[in-house]
Amino acid sequence: MNLYLLSPINLSVSGMGLLLQKCLKEKLLQPCKQIHALMLNITH
């Protein structure tokens, strides 16, 4: 997974939601936690 794609500037919250669902589906816990943390940073 390209870290550039995970930058908050390039992703909307809805885009992150889709990424999070994909991570959960594939059971990739570490990227999942990172994406979730980014989402929390953006929304708060």
pLDDT of residue 35: 73
pLDDT at 24: 75
Q: Note the pLDDT of residue 5.
A: 54
Tokens, residue 5: 């794609």
List the pLDDT tens digit at each of the 44 positions of the chain.
555 555 555 556 677 778 778 877 877 777 778 877 877 776 66
23 and 31 Cβ atoms separated by less than 8 Å: yes
Burial class (CB in 10 A: 0-12, 13-18, 19+), 36: middle
Strand ranges inside 1-44, DSSP E: none
Which one-letter amino acid corresponds to residue 13?
Answer: V
Query: What pLDDT is attached to residue 41?
Result: 79
